[in-house]
Structure 1
Amino acid sequence: MGSYDPAMSRIGLIGMGRMGAPICANLVSVARAVAVHDVDPAREQAAWACGATWCSSAPETAAAADVLITVLPGPADVDTVMSDAVLDALAPGATWIDLTSSSPTAAAPVRERARAHGVEVLEAPMGGGPDDARAGRLRLFVGGDGDLLARHRPLLAAIADPDAITHVGGPGAGYTIKLLVNMLWFGQAVATAEALLLGRRAGIALDVLRDTFADSAASSEFIRRDLPSLLAGDYLASFGLDHIHDQLATVTSLARDLATPHDISEAVRRLHQQALKRYGPADGELLAVALLEERTGIRLRE
C-alpha cells in the first residue's frame, strides 16, 4: 500500500485545545480539506481562522474524513468521543490516529471497537508543547502497524519532526512509552528541585549549582532544556496538574499489574497528588516543584 498523499486527503480533527489548534493550522497547510469539532463551541472561530471547516458534532466530522485525528485531554475523553456513532460515520478502511496521552489498558477496548467497524488505528501520543505544535516539530511515539504508519508518515510530517516520528511497537506501545517518558521527566524535575533546594540551604549559589549539574554526570534533558524556565519563574503552564497526576497514577497502576518495582514512580505520583490538593487542577507542569519551594521557604530564582 502506497503513502497517503496529504494534498488529496480529507482530515477530521476532534479537539481544538492548546495542542489541537496549532495542529489544525499545520494540517490545513497540507491537506485538501480539514473538518473540525470540539465540545467547546467557543472554539469554532479558531477553526475557521486557521482555514478548517467547523462541524457541529463528532459524527459529522468523522463523515467528512478519510483520516480522523483525535487530540483530547485523556482516556475518558477518547472513550466518549469514539462512540459507535462516530465509528459508523467513518468509511470502512478509514484511519483513526489518536494523539492523546492515554492508557494502553483503557485504549484497548476502543481500538477493538474501531477495528470491528473496519477502521484502521494508529496511536501517536505527542512529545512537546504548544510551541512545538505551532512549529510542526512535535515528537510522536507511534504504536500500531508499521505499514500503516509508513502510509501516513507524509501526513504526520506536517505536525511533527519527520526524524521524531518513531515506531515504538505494536498497539499499546506508543501510549506506554509516552507514559514512561512523562514519568521520567516529572521524576527528574522534582529530584532536581530537591537537589537545588538542599544546595541553596547549604549555602551554595544557585548559578554554581545549575552550572555544575549541567556539566556533570547529574545532567539531564530537564536540566539542559527546562531548568532555565523554572529559574525564570515559569512553572510551564501548558498542562493541567490533574491530568499530570492521572498519567502518573496510570504508570503506577500499570507497574502493579505487570509486577514491576515502582517505589520511585509512586513517590513522584504522591508528590503530584499533594500538589493537586494544594493548588487544584491548575495548569503547571512544575507545580510539584512549587510545592517543594513552598515547604522549604526558598524560591529557585536566578
Structure 2
Amino acid sequence: MDIAFLGLGRMGRELVPHLIDAGHRVTVWNRSPGPAETIGRRGAGVAESAAEAVAGVDAVVSVLFGPEAVRETITEAGLPWRPRTLWIDVTTVSPADAIEFAERASAAGIRYVAAPVVGSLAPARAGALAVLVGGEHDAARDAKRIVGLWADQEKLRTFDSAAAATAAKLVANLALAVSMETLSEALRLGRAAGLSNDDVLSTLSLTAIAPLAAQKGALVTAGDFDDAQFTAEALAKDTRLMLATSDVPLPAVALVAAELQRAIEAGHGDKDFSVIARDR
C-alpha cells in the first residue's frame, strides 16, 4: 500500500519501520525535519508538507501530540484526500474529539479509525503493543491489517466506535498514572517508616502494581528520569483529557495531574512521567 505517516515523535519513530519492513511504500511528514530525514534514510519518502504526504495514498497514519495537533495538521488543514482514504489516528484524544474527527472525515469522504496504543517504546519497537481499534466495521478491519504490524495479536482489541477506543485508551492511561502515584507514595511512606527502598519494592512485588514497580522502581530510586518512555508532558495532557471527559469527580487523576504540572513547571516536562516520584 501507499501510506502517509504524519508525526514522528518518540512513538511514531518506532512504528514507521514496521510499515517499511512489511513492504509498504511510506511517505513521512513531521513538523521538524530532523526525524523525517532520519526515517528517510531508513527507506521512506519525505514530504515537505502534510498535504504533499497524503496526496493519492491509500491510508494515512497519524501519531500526533494531542487533539489540537490533529485539528491543525489534518481536520482543519484542507488536505487533498483521495476518496475513501483510510485515516488511522493513533493519537491519544478524548471520545468527544474522536466523534468530531469521525464526522469531519465522513464529510470529506474518507474513513476514520481510532487506533491508540497501550505500551511504551520498547514494545513498540518489538511489535508487541496493545492496540485499541475503533471505527466502522470494514474500516476497522482494514486498519487492523496495518496496525497489526506493531501489535501483540493477543492484545489487539476492537471496539464498535472510535469514541469507545479512545475512551479505553484514557482508562488504560488512568491506571498507569494512578499506579505511578501509588509507587511514589509507597516509597515515601516506606522511607518515613524506616524501610529501605529495596524493602518497599520487594513488598510491592506482592501487590497489584508489581509490574510497574518492577519497571520503574530502580529508575525512581536512582533518580534517573532521562530515558523518557512516556513524558510527563504527554501524560499531563492525557490527564486533562480524562478530567474533561468524566462527568463525575476523578480525585486520584486530579492529584496526579497536579503532580505532573508541578514537574513541568520545574522544567521536567520532557522527562519520563515517573519524575513525579522524585525526591523533593
Structure-1-length-normalised TM-score: 0.85
The separation in 2 between residues aligned to 1:239 and 1:224, in whole angstroms, is 16
Q: 1:56-205 to 2 correspondence within 5 Å?
A: 56-83=48-75, 86-87=78-79, 89-205=80-196
1:271 maps to what in 2? 259
Per-residue deviation at 1:121? 0.8
Q: Tell me if the contact between 2:177 and 2:253 (Cα under 8 Å) persists in the aligned partners.
A: no
Deviations 1:74-132 (A, max 9, x none): 11111111145554x22111100001111222333232111111101110111122222
> What SS class does the counterpart of residue 249 from structure 2 fall into?
coil
> What SS class does the counterpart of residue 93 from structure 2 fall into?
coil
Deviations 1:186-235 (A, max 9, x none): 1111122111211122112222221122124x544322433344334433
1:49 paired to 2:37: no
1:225 maps to what in 2? 215
The separation in 2 between residues aligned to 1:21 and 1:11, in whole angstroms, is 15
2:224 maps to what in 1? 234
Q: Tell me if the contact between 2:184 and 2:276 (Cα under 8 Å) persists in the aligned partners.
A: no
Pairs aligned (count): 279
Gapped runs of 5+ residues in structure 1?
1-8, 295-302
2:2 maps to what in 1? 10
Q: Tell me if the contact between 2:88 and 2:143 (Cα under 8 Å) persists in the aligned partners.
A: no
Residue type matched to 2:27 in 1? A
Q: Tell me if the contact between 2:132 and 2:157 (Cα under 8 Å) persists in the aligned partners.
A: yes
Q: Tell me if the contact between 2:88 and 2:114 (Cα under 8 Å) persists in the aligned partners.
A: yes
Deviations 1:123-163 (A, max 9, x none): 01111222222212222112212332223322222122222
Q: Tell me if the contact between 2:58 and 2:85 (Cα under 8 Å) persists in the aligned partners.
A: yes
Residues 205 and 44 of structure 1: is their aligned pair in 2 closer, same or farther, counting only changes over 3 Å? closer
Residues 224 and 42 of structure 1: is their aligned pair in 2 closer, same or farther, counting only changes over 3 Å? closer
Residue type matched to 1:271 in 2? E
Q: Tell me if the contact between 1:27 and 1:34 (Cα under 8 Å) persists in the aligned partners.
A: yes
1:247 maps to what in 2? 238
Runs of 4+ residues deviating >6 angstroms:
none
Larger radius of gyration between Structure 1 and Structure 2: 1
Gapped runs of 5+ residues in structure 2?
none
Q: Tell me if the contact between 1:10 and 1:31 (Cα under 8 Å) persists in the aligned partners.
A: no
1:281 paired to 2:232: no
The separation in 2 between residues aligned to 1:69 and 1:219, in whole angstroms, is 33
Residues 83 and 146 of structure 1: is their aligned pair in 2 closer, same or farther, counting only changes over 3 Å? closer
Q: Tell me if the contact between 1:103 and 1:175 (Cα under 8 Å) persists in the aligned partners.
A: yes
Which of residues 25, 29, 33 in structure 2 aligns to 1:33? 25
The separation in 2 between residues aligned to 1:86 and 1:62, in whole angstroms, is 11
**Identity of counterpart residues, as a percentage?**
27
The separation in 2 between residues aligned to 1:107 and 1:263, in whole angstroms, is 25
Residues 84 and 271 of structure 1: is their aligned pair in 2 closer, same or farther, counting only changes over 3 Å? closer
Which of residues 199, 205, 227 in structure 2 aligns to 1:214? 205
The separation in 1 between residues aligned to 2:178 and 2:114, in whole angstroms, is 25
The separation in 2 between residues aligned to 1:122 and 1:79, in whole angstroms, is 15
> What SS class does the counterpart of residue 19 from structure 1 fall into?
helix
